[in-house]
C-alpha cells in the first residue's frame, strides 16, 4: 500500500494477510545504519513503575492528540507544518504554574523517593538508547507478518512520524526553555549517568517520540497496540523518574507525538522543512 492512498485516515492502515516470516532488512532499521556501531546492550529487565494517575494522563493525551489532529487536518486539508506547529503550541498550553507546578514538583519528588539501583539502571539505558532500540521487536513482528513489500510503506510512515515529531517538539522547547526538575529543585537530583538533557524541559522529546512511534506501530499491528502504549509509557515516565522531566512535560510530549503520527499518516504530501541540527 502506498502512503499517497492514506490521506483520509488519521492512522491509516493495519496489517495485511500474514506473509512468510522474515527478518527486517537492515536498510529498514530506524534510524538507518551508517557504518559499524557498537551493538546496543539489551534493555534491563527491571521496569519502572508508572503511577496510575500519570499513566491515565498519558493515555488521555494520546487520545486527545489523535482526535484533535484529525479534526484539524479535516479543517485544514492543505495546512503546512508551520501552521500545525502553531496549532500544537496553542493546544498544549504553557508549562504549569502555581498549585499545578507544585503538584508537578511533588510527583517528581515521589519518583525520586521510590528509586532503586535496578530502576536507575533502566532509566540510564532509556536515556541513552530509548528512542529507537525498544521498538526493534515490534518492527520485526510487523515485517514478519506483512512481508517486506508492505512493511517498507509502514516503516516509511514511522520515519516520517519521527521527522514531524522533531519539527513539532523542538520549537516549543526552545520557546519556553523550562528548567528541568533537577536544575530547579535540590530535592530532585538527576539519576547518575543521565546525559541527554539538552534544551528545555517542556515538552519531553523522549515522550513525544515514544508516543509517535507507539501510535504508528499500534496502527500497523493492532494486536500489539496495548503493548506499544505500555512501552511508550515506560520510556516517557523514565524521564520523570530520572528528574529530567516533570509529569506535565511527558504528558505534553504524548500529545505532540500523537499529533505528529496522525499528521504524518494523513498528509504524506506535506513538505517538511529540514530541522537545524544543534
Helices then strands, each counted (H, E), the chain: 9, 0
Do 12 and 265 meet the contact criterion of CB atoms below 8 Å apart?
A: yes
Q: What is the pLDDT of residue 38?
A: 73
* pLDDT at 23 exceeding the cut of 80: no
Q: What is the pLDDT of residue 7?
A: 27
Q: How far apart are CA 272 and CA 275, in angstroms?
A: 9
Q: What are phi and psi of 198, to 5 degrees?
A: -85, 160
* pLDDT at 70 exceeding the cut of 50: yes
pLDDT-derived band at 39 (thresholds 50, 70, 90) equals: confident
Q: What is the pLDDT of residue 40?
A: 87
Amino acid at each position: 500500500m502506498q502512503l499517497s492512498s492514506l490521506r483520509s485516515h488519521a492512522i491509516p492502515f493495519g496489517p495485511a494477510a500474514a506473509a512468510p516470516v522474515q527478518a527486517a532488512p537492515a536498510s529498514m532499521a530506524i534510524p538507518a545504519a551508517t557504518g559499524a556501531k557498537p551493538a546496543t546492550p539489551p534493555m534491563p529487565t527491571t521496569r519502572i513503575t508508572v503511577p496510575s494517575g500519570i499513566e491515565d494522563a498519558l493515555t488521555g493525551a494520546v487520545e486527545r492528540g489523535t482526535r484533535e489532529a484529525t479534526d484539524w487536518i479535516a479543517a485544514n486539508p492543505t495546512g503546512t507544518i508551520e501552521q500545525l506547529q502553531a496549532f500544537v503550541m496553542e493546544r498544549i498550553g504553557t508549562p504549569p504554574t502555581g498549585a499545578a507546578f507544585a503538584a508537578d514538583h511533588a510527583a517528581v519528588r515521589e519518583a525520586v523517593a521510590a528509586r532503586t539501583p535496578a530502576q536507575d539502571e533502566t532509566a540510564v539505558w532509556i536515556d541513552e538508547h530509548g528512542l529507537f532500540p525498544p521498538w526493534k521487536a515490534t518492527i520485526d513482528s510487523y515485517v514478519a507478518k506483512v512481508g517486506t513489500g508492505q512493511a517498507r510503506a509502514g516503516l516509511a510512515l514511522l520515519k516520517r512520524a519521527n521527522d514531524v515529531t522533531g519539527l513539532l517538539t523542538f520549537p516549543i522547547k526552545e520557546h519556553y526553555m523550562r528548567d528541568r526538575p533537577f536544575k530547579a529543585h535540590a530535592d530532585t537530583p538527576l539519576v547518575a549517568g543521565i546525559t541527554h538533557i539538552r534544551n528545555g524541559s517542556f515538552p519531553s522529546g523522549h515522550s513525544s517520540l515514544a508516543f509517535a512511534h507507539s501510535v504508528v506501530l499500534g496502527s500497523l499491528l493492532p494486536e500489539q497496540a496495548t503493548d506499544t502504549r505500555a512501552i511508550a509509557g515506560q520510556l516517557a515516565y523514565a524521564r520523570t523518574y530520572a528528574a529530567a522531566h516533570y509529569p506535565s512535560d511527558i504528558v505534553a510530549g504524548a500529545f505532540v507525538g500523537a499529533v505528529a503520527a496522525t499528521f504524518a499518516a494523513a498528509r504524506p504530501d506535506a513538505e517538511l522543512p529540514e530541522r537545524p541540527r544543534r
